[in-house]
Structure 1
Amino acid sequence: METKQFTTDEIGEAAELIRQGELIAFPTETVYGLGANALDEQAVKQVYTVKGRPSDNPLIVHVSDFEMVTQYVTDFPKHTKSLVDAFWPGPLTLIFDVKPTTFSTTVTGGLNTVAFRMPNNLKTIELIKEAHVPLVGPSANTSGKPSPTTAKHVYHDLHGKIAGILDDGPTQIGVESTVLDLTTKNGVPVVLRPGAITKEQLEQVVGKVTLDQHLITEKEAPKAPGMKYKHYSPDVPVWIIDGDKDVFDKAINWAKSKNQRIGLFTSDRITSAFSTEVTAIFSFGEDTVEQGTKLLFAGLRSLDEQNIDVIFAQAFPESELGIAYMNRLKKAANQKILKIDSIFE
């Protein structure tokens, strides 16, 4: 199959392919999604096949406006309007109970709920409107690997497997949306996956919000995407470095003692200190969690393609956006963290 790279002037053609049951990758402000007609079971099954994604992992349904959601949901929780008014379009996914048999189990993962999002990307909104159907949209990559933040990343993973890619340049946020479950029995919303919309921002709108930090094992069925214990992982092992230059120095010396070729994912402040001691560097520039988050997946992908044996990645404090950053990085590293008092064996 030839994978066509569509410009933003060719959205009509891409939408027609969606209606025909084909897969089209689309841009959002978070990462690129792998789009298929959410009402076409066979098309959705192809999403799982192409990604190599476990079938118990539910999919997020992308809509062009809130009105589209009302076709599939009867009873909305009390906070719905406030959240939609505050954060849609944007990087917030909301989980609702849906009408029975509205979506196939290929979308729901066998649950009675579905996650909905209105992405903040005008070209994708236009694509959904032109297709006249909601789109499933998991990250457009091989399952378990770093999510794509450019059309080039999508092409690398999926060329020859999907009909096309709608290219709208690099994404702006760099990690997937916050997933908020509104179907809890006690009525308190729960963040199942942290993202750019923080717990603190949500609480300003709805009051109390809890954060589910439970790690899903391979044998458990997640209620939202991205909850697996290990995820977003390059082929090269990743270690998180929780500390300053002295901890990086310790890690680098340990790797050198084992004749390992080292890659760094850090800010300019750190990379400048070790530029002559490592094999490969991906600097995210300014020493801020915003920059680290935006370039996290791009950095892991870039380093993974170089001739190295290990990646050392910079940690950030786990507050606000840092929760989302560390959530993705911990899963990429399979929870391996080196702190100042740690000892490599």
Structure 2
Amino acid sequence: MSHTDTAILTASTADLTRAAAMLARGETVAFPTETVYGLGADARSGPAVARIYAAKGRPTFNPLIAHVRDVASAKRYVTWTGTADRLAAAFWPGPLTLVLPLRADHGIASLVTAGLDTLAVRVPAHPAAQRLLALFDGPLAAPSANPSGRISATTAAHVLDGLGGRIAAVVDDGPCAVGLESTIIGLEGKDTTLLRPGGLPTETIEAVLGHSLGRRDQTEALTAPGQMLSHYAPAAAVRLNATAARKGETLLGFGAMGCDLNLSRGADLAEAASNLFAHLHKLDQTGRPIAIAPVPNTGLGVAINDRLRRAAAPRDR
């Protein structure tokens, strides 16, 4: 497949209908969500899901999120709970993923769950994603639409830069508003556990629940997407907590400071989250190492720092 073999579609009804038909044939289609662009395939088809792993170069022990239209659709695949009801009522559609036990009759391909007996599921808020799910009328496995371990895509151009020629199509509906992947909450048994911080602040979730979330032991096996130590990484080396650039580096700033690019000059964490991956893409194109200024570790800053730590983690080169 050449780069031009990846079709670029709009969010028109005609193009979304075409995208849904591609998905029904077992092809992979990237589409926007409010968090990042996802690479979608029919979550019920092993061969279709295998095309996601092949396109991304993603290890098959790393599970995927299934995107569905609504709560009723989610209940077809997972065992629902009262806590899930409260969280879905408060935050769906939106940047929250729930990990719940699979139903006996779920029909989800085992590649989606990486062989686990749980499924990560969410209802995206993006209008194009909602319309695509309605036209497809089924669950879409959809990790971020980028090569495995690299910077997540927040525009269709990012998708094409990383996956052009490897996927059937991308639906271009502009940049993603949130800019960070969803927050993932595990709801196995009686525990309510933060499995990955993301676009919905932990404090907001805890306010609805009325109690603190448990925390995952980082030494445990992978139980949800986005838990690998090295992830969301530019090709260039990344240095954190920088107050100035060293020789040869580019500097990604936060707040009032001199830098090459600034996540938010006004120190707004929502703006910083929205800009994070797009700015990393821009700086990575320079080919120079990237130094990154400190970001407060509160609210959305928790998720931003999670992504930055993984981007800076040691990795094979």
Cα displacement (A) at 1:288: 2.1
* Cα deviation 1:84-125 (Å, max 9, x = unaligned): 110000000011111236322201111000010000111111
* Cα deviation 1:98-155 (Å, max 9, x = unaligned): 1236322201111000010000111111111111111001000000001000000001
The equivalences for 1:1-345 within 5 A come to 1=1, 2-9=5-12, 10-73=15-78, 75-100=79-104, 102-183=107-188, 185=189, 187-212=190-215, 214-215=217-218, 221-241=221-241, 248-249=243-244, 252=245, 255-256=246-247, 261-267=248-254, 269-271=256-258, 281-286=260-265, 287-308=267-288, 310-334=289-313
Amino acid at match of 2:256: R
Name the count of aligned residue pairs.
308
Cα displacement (A) at 1:211: 4.5
* Cα deviation 1:52-91 (Å, max 9, x = unaligned): 1010111100001111112122x32221211111000000
Give the conservation status (yes or no) of the 8 Å contact 1:23–1:35.
Answer: yes
TM-score of the superposed pair, with normalisation by structure 2? 0.93
Look up the SS of the partner of 1:11 in the other structure: helix
Structure 1 stretches of at least 4 aligned residues deviating more than 4 Å after TM superposition: none
Q: CA separation of 1:323/1:285 partners in 2, compared to 1, >3 Å: closer, same or farther?
A: closer
Cα displacement (A) at 1:248: 1.9
Distance across 2 between alignment mates of 1:300 and 1:221: 28
Cα displacement (A) at 1:221: 3.8
Look up the SS of the partner of 1:312 in the other structure: strand
Cα displacement (A) at 1:268: 6.2
Match of 1:278 in 2: none
Distance across 1 between alignment mates of 2:274 and 2:293: 14
Amino acid at match of 2:98: L
Match of 1:343 in 2: none
Amino acid at match of 1:224: A
Q: Any gaps of 5 or more consecutive residues in structure 1? A: 242-246, 275-280, 336-345
Q: Any gaps of 5 or more consecutive residues in structure 2? A: none
Amino acid at match of 2:157: K
Amino-acid identity (%)? 38
Question: Which structure has the larger Rg?
Answer: 1
Look up the SS of the partner of 2:243 in the other structure: helix
Give the conservation status (yes or no) of the 8 Å contact 1:265–1:282.
Answer: yes
